Chains A and B, each alone.
Chain A
Amino acid sequence: MNLKILHLYCTFESVLKYNKLQLSTMKIITKQNKSILRELVSTDFKIRYQGSFLGYAWSLFRPLMLFCILYIVFTYVFGLGKTIPHYPVYLLLGIVLWNFMLETTSIGVSSIVSNGNLLRKINIPKYLPVLSSSLSSLINLFFNLLVVFGFILFSGISPNLFWLVFPVIVFELYVFSLSLAFLLSALYVKYRDINYIWELALQAGFYLTPIIYPISKAPVSMQKIIFLNPMAQIIQDSRWLIISRETATASSALKSVTVLIPYTLVLLVLLVSTLYFKNRAAFFAEEV
């Protein structure tokens, strides 16, 4: 178990280090960029929920409705839920984390192209639209998690010290999702098939990640492959930290160095996306 915490902190350290690199090379801190970012995020929020009666509540209802559907199907039709303690919150947490990645990347993929009008006319850092759409999703995640934690406490799980590590996992999730969004948005400028491909990839990913089914239902050999996927590692680590020490995690399922693969994948995506995005950004204005 100590090993596990160590892993988590290693990830945290290195993610932070790489992120610092990314942030410093992109000069994120200027006062002007901050205020542009702020306006872009608030615009995003205003537009997204404009005109709908329930407005922001939809961003909470949507994952909850999905949760209800999946819970009914998997508990009463397939009888899955009965074998797992706290299956409802187990499911809900998985859905909320997955949904964050889904929202960040599927909105992020078109964030450069849909802001083409802006980028064609003004010289602002090209990462701002991607970053702003990811921040909107991050705010959504925050409110979704408040709801999730409400359910968790309601279902009788008591808070403990492991919860303090959870933000690290959320951070990893954010870095992973944002990196994917950077990569996809830059690719989408050149290749307009990317959004369809990504849609399919997300659908496949939903079933390759233990979101609705417990990881223990998969054959052991399959589990090892599933855990190479950073999303599986992130969701299982979160469940381990918050809900139950019983559930399998990447560090319990994978042996020796392979344990590092999901974390390395996150860093790799971060690195590749940063380099590719930086390389392409100079041409966005003329290509979008």
Chain B
Amino acid sequence: MKYAVSINNIHKTFKLATDSRKSIKSLFIKGRPNNKLVETLRNVSLNVEKGEFFGIIGRNGSGKSTLLKIIAQVYQPTKGSLIINGKLTPFIELGVGFNPELNAKDNVFLNGSLLGFSRKEMSEMYEDIVDFAELQDSMDKKLKNFSSGMQVRLAFSIAIRSKADIFLIDEVLAVGDVNFQKKCIEVFKTLKEQGKTIIFVSHSMEYVREFCDRVAVVDEGIVVHCGEVEKGIDLYNKINYEIALSENDFQKNIKLEETEHLGNGGAKILNFKVYDEKNAPKNLLTSGRKFRIEIEVIFNTTVKKASIGVMFRKDKNENLFGINNYYTNYKLPTYKEGDRAKFSIGGVMPLSEGDYYLSLSVADIVSRIDYTDLDILNNYTKIIVSGEPRWGLLDYAGEFRELDE
């Protein structure tokens, strides 16, 4: 009985009806059933030891949520067996059963009952729960008038009261403010100290690295790695990178003429490639290492002061940094209609671990505010940067020293 959770050769197949809502009509109409079978989990075997902080990572749609729901016994596996030793918190998400029309107090009792507490037990814990959530003044309000942050705080304060041996935690840290996240971390540490088993699903590699003893990487319904955390995270990043590649079909010389070009058409970006520090064409770059981007442009009009540039963004509208010949003061000749030219733009990658959008542009520039866009490929491809985890978007460690009195 060493294992808290033991999963053996589990398969899960969903029937995916083309129209998920069936009608009586379909009973009477003959023909091929329009059900498509989707194999969400294939031959998954995992053992989670007692007292382990076990991470499950994978992209959206990889099957990790299905796996978690099978462990929580919400879904029945199609094949295979599941053995659970110990009491399991049934929570996949926080605040299950919360009813927006009820006031917060009633919701505490409702949620508590689903966690396995009697009304009496809940009454005893009520004050503590409210204090922990810091919602003393709002408990008579209807839950629908709570902000999402308040709801999560309340739900979390109830959930941690659970007297389970095995906790299933799914993306708790994605919500809530910094203060709340700190509280979560404290709770995780306490649970870990108490020797509870925790199964933790997260997209935050920072937290996975900090807490997990072992990690499973799920991809397309298969456990592709189970064990060492760093190896798992590397694999996860690699999978993400490969997906980004195939999504953008980046290295296969995508036909740029078929994609949407912004700008007035005075020039056109024919081709571009991203190279890493070893000069290999890749869009997986490393913090603090060199990279460069090669761009090939054809000019359709006379351009006296061409400016060729790239821009990195985190989400699709916030500029992080850009490089162009206007700022680097590189003088380019006047281009005439039909001229072709190749440029290399690059430097040292200043961004920290994460994925970013790359945009490219060609402009005719007089000054920083007086320019004409000739061609723009907006948020055209994803660039994945690997490196040390940092607090923030920049890979900058800074300097630190103790001052002499």
Contact = CB atoms under 8 A, between A and B. Distances in A.
Interface string A12-55: 00000000000000000001100110111011001100100000
A192 interface: yes
Contacts of A282: 76
A37 to B, nearest CB: 8
Contact of B75 (A36, A50, A117, A286): A286
B57 to A, nearest CB: 21
B99 A43 contact: yes
A124 B76 contact: no
A123 interface: yes
A39 B109 contact: yes
Given A38-B119, A43-B110, A124-B90, A190 B22 contact: yes
A122 B113 contact: no
B207 interface: no
A120 B24 contact: no
Interface size class on chain A is 20 to 34
Contacts of A191: 22-24, 27
A283 interface: yes
Nearest to A50: B101
B113 A39 contact: yes
A69 interface: no
Interface string A271-283: 0000000000011
Nearest to B97: A118
Contacts of A194: 24
A170 B110 CA distance: 30
A197 interface: yes
B23 A35 contact: no
Contacts of B72: 122-123
A122 B75 contact: no
A122 B90 contact: yes
Given A47-B102, A191-B23, A35 B74 contact: no
Given A192-B23, A197-B24, A286-B14, A120 B117 contact: no
B59 interface: no
Nearest to A44: B99
Contacts of A117: 96
Contact of B76 (A118, A197, A283): A283
A281 B14 CA distance: 16
Contact of B24 (A47, A122, A193): A193
B99 A31 contact: no
Contact of B96 (A118, A192, A283): A118
Contacts of A286: 14, 75
A208 B101 CA distance: 39
Interface size class on chain B is 20 to 34
Interface in B33-79: 69, 72-76
B69 A31 contact: no
B276 interface: no
A194 B22 CA distance: 11
B114 interface: yes
Interface string A101-128: 0000000000000000111111110000
A161 B118 CA distance: 40
A285 interface: yes
A122 B22 contact: no
A191 B24 CA distance: 6
A91 to B, nearest CB: 35
B92 interface: yes
A87 to B, nearest CB: 40
A270 B97 CA distance: 29
Contacts of A121: 74, 91-93, 96
Nearest to A282: B76
A43 B90 CA distance: 20
Nearest to B122: A35
A118 B21 CA distance: 19
Nearest to A47: B101
Contacts of A35: 113, 117-119
Contacts of B69: 285
B149 interface: no
Contacts of B102: 43, 46-47
A197 B117 CA distance: 39
Contacts of A120: 74
A133 B154 CA distance: 27
A167 to B, nearest CB: 28
B106 interface: yes
Interface string A220-234: 000000000000000
B97 A122 contact: yes
B86 interface: no
Nearest to A285: B74
B338 interface: no
Interface of B: 14, 21-25, 27, 69, 72-76, 90-93, 96-97, 99, 101-102, 106, 109-110, 113-114, 116-119
Closest 6 CB pairs of A and B: A39-B113, A123-B73, A35-B113, A193-B24, A39-B110, A122-B90
Given A47-B101, A122-B72, A191-B24, 11 more contacts: A31-B118, A39-B119, A40-B110, A119-B74, A122-B74, A123-B72, A124-B114, A191-B23, A193-B25, A285-B75, A286-B75
15 contacts: A38-B113, A39-B110, A43-B110, A46-B101, A47-B99, A117-B96, A118-B96, A118-B97, A122-B72, A122-B74, A124-B114, A190-B22, A191-B27, A194-B24, A286-B14
